[in-house]
Amino acid sequence: MSADKEKIKVLFLCTGNSCRSQIAEGWARHLKADCLQPFSAGISPGALNQTAVEVMAEAGVDISDQKPKHLNDLSRVNFDYVITLCDNAYENCPIFPAKVKLIHKSFQDPAFTPGTKQKILAAFRILRDQLKNFVEKMPEILETEYNKQK
């Protein structure tokens, strides 16, 4: 059995797969590669948000090669957990096989922050740090979060 088959397969799902889910996937690859096999996708994918790339680079994580994907692009992957990171993705989340555990953990989208470049960067940094904190608790937090929402 390959090492990846032993890892927990986690899908971070957002609307556009341009920011929140990309950051979460980046953190999971960076912090939890030993136990998680992370993926990200969107309900309606857009372009990778360059400010997300910038703030992750500040933290030493390169997500510049990650590509936004539609959820359908990952239809052959047997996920253990699907984590919706925004209300829209949760409300429009398709049906997954019964064994897949769905967790909803909504994070504010910094892409809609009004104001100066500094204010926008600050919002992205807050999200980056919130997602890092969430991912650092994995995989232990997954079952707890899933059971809270049942």
Greater model confidence, 99 or 36: 36
Residue ranges per structural domain of the chain: 3-142
Among the listed residues 14, 36, 85, 123, the single catalytic one is 14
Distance CA(132)–CA(88), nearest Å, equals 22
The percent of residues in the chain predicted with pLDDT above 90, rounded, is 81
pTM value?
A: 0.93
Q: How many CB atoms lie within 10 A of CB 115?
A: 9
pLDDT band at 3 (very low <50, low <70, confident <90, very high): low
Q: In this model, does residue 148 exceed pLDDT 70? A: yes
CB 85 within 8 A of CB 24: yes
Task: List pLDDT tens digits, range 9-24.
Answer: 999 999 999 999 999 9
Is residue 21 a contact partner of residue 41, using CB atoms and an 8 Å limit?
Answer: yes
Contact 74, 39 (CB under 8 A): yes
Catalytic residue chosen out of the listed positions 28, 41, 86, 123: 86
C-alpha to C-alpha distance for 33 and 56, rounded to whole angstroms: 17
Give per-residue pLDDT as tens, 69-110: 999 999 899 999 999 999 888 888 777 777 899 999 999 999
Q: Where are the beta strands (DSSP E) in the chain?
A: 8-14, 36-42, 81-84, 101-104
Concerning whether 14 is annotated as a catalytic residue, the answer is yes
Structure tokens at 82: 């699907």
**How far apart, in whole angstroms, are the C-alpha atoms of residue 71 and residue 11?**
9
Is 35 a residue of the active site? Answer: no
d(CA 11, CA 100): 10
Peptide bond into 139 cis (omega under 30): yes
pLDDT in tens, 108-121: 999 999 999 999 99
| 3-142: CATH topology | Rossmann fold (3.40.50)
